[in-house]
Structure 1
């Protein structure tokens, strides 16, 4: 079973990295892909490559060697919110799109996403580094996520749990609200299009992004937005892999 899991994860990881790097390269070399949509997609692909590279190779190493030691040493939501706003501008304000979503504005939006992502995780990270773990150091997870780390700590983790939930609510629901509002106005505009072909083209532009939004927000709300970060770690582990 471990061999099958190793092969499946390895192939999935290689396909993910190859696909994301291809997107990044194409947006850099193809002059037709210099719009704001592909600019945000390039950063999203870069972030996805970093995220999978942090988690999957470590898991593959554990499967192949049996060494399960992990050393103890959210940008994505803000990018999803910005990308939904970009779709809204492209469909609802096509005449103003090129003027409003210029390269300077796009650059500033992406920088704000990266800074906001770091600011969200920094307080919990600093507090987590000061937790005590006594004698037990085995976590019920594939990576050093917040819930399994809090579960084995012998420190008082109530404040960290509350902080994690508060930041998760602020980040997830704040950016999710931006996504929902953007798509409400976008869908209203698409419905008013005169031809079915125009409607289909507009919906196809947003469909892939909506799938990513549903999976990402669904998983993270399930894992982080709840009263206790220590509860249901086993279920969180399965959802985290998904």
Structure 2
């Protein structure tokens, strides 16, 4: 009987944000504008780094990876949300839902790894400036970037494989604007305690692991910067990692509540609200943070605009 019920559920309905048609139009325009700006902003960073020779360093190589990730992270959820707001298609197949969960969570996990790698890169650049080019060579940079991507996608593959085995025998309405793990698994008539435990374990390992690397890196960075005798020297040294620090703080604040929680069943409204910041706002702000707070990026943009 459970198998028959499971086979009957072939698609799910995404609830989105219920409200008047005017609210749906407002949300559509808002999400569309943010998606376009996110895509163009991160693409501009990629093009800028690739075309400007002075930015061909490990730091900006990792930034290109981060910008490329942000484009796909937003793309994994924004187009379907736009369809929902227009009222065109609120349904999504079970396979499509699993794929959306897989790519969203894999990209989020990869971002944690990339941000910790970028913190480690800044630690080497500031604490060991004479040995930096020798340690952080092109080979190590590629290995760290590839390792971040592969680790992120492999970790979530196990979690999604367990979700794919759940049975659904009741309602098929997902209270979210895209397929999100907690909103999906609470609809299952199967025991989800193992999935919740595994999800929490992966979240804690990924978040705390990357947090420890980032935190320790900045402890050494700050202690090194404070030992620089001149004020101008301290400002110059810290300016090389201020953009990354701002992005790290924004990302951690918007995802800790999203991933680390005791139960999926008691946090759906919080999850949906925080997910807006996590999937739309953070990728939107990242290129502006790097463009406005990074001196080399501003100089590169000015030189390209002047035709140099």
Which of 163, 181, 190 is matched with 2:216 structurally?
181
Q: Which residue of 2 aligns with 1:150?
A: 185
Confirm or deny that 1:126 pairs with 2:161: yes
Identify the residue that residue 56 of structure 1 maps to in structure 2: 78
How many residues matched?
A: 242
Distance, in Å, in 1 between the alignment partners of 2:183 and 2:200 is 15
CA deviation string 1:147-187 (max 9, x = no partner): 11111111110000000000000111001100000000001
Could you tell me which residue of structure 2 aligns to residue 21 of structure 1?
43
Among candidates 76, 87, 96, match of residue 65 of structure 1: 87
**TM-score, length-scaled by structure 1:** 0.96
Question: Which sits farther off after the overlay, 194-203 or 132-141?
Answer: 194-203
Do 1:70 and 1:143's aligned partners in 2 also have CA atoms closer than 8 Å?
no
- Aligned-residue RMSD, C-alpha: 1.3
Structure 2: stretches of 5+ with no match in the other structure: 1-22, 96-108, 278-308
CA distance in structure 2 between the aligned counterparts of 1:215 and 1:194, rounded to whole angstroms: 31
Q: 1:7-156 maps to which residues of 2 (within 5 A)? A: 7-73=29-95, 74-156=109-191
Specify the SS of the correspondent of 2:261. coil
Give the Cα–Cα distance (whole angstroms) in 2 for the partners of residues 70 and 213 of structure 1. 33
SS in 2 for 1:234: helix
Name the counterpart of 2:272.
237
Taking the aligned partners of 1:219 and 1:231, their CA distance within structure 2 comes to 18
TM-score after normalising by structure 2:
0.76
Of structures 1 and 2, the larger Rg is shown by: 2
What are the ranges of 5 or more consecutive residues in structure 1 without an aligned counterpart?
Answer: none
CA deviations over 1:108-136 (Å, ceiling 9, x no partner): 11111111101210111000011111131
Question: CA offsets, 1:26-50, max 9 Å, x none?
Answer: 2222211110000000000000100
- Asked whether the 8 Å contact 1:79–1:110 carries over to 2, the reply is yes
In structure 2, C-alpha distance between the alignment counterparts of 1:17 and 1:198, rounded to whole Å: 35
Contact 1:40–1:110, Cα closer than 8 Å, also in 2: yes
Equivalent position of 2:229 in the other structure = 194
Compute the displacement of 1:66 (Å): 4.2
In structure 1, C-alpha distance between the alignment counterparts of 2:31 and 2:72, rounded to whole Å: 16
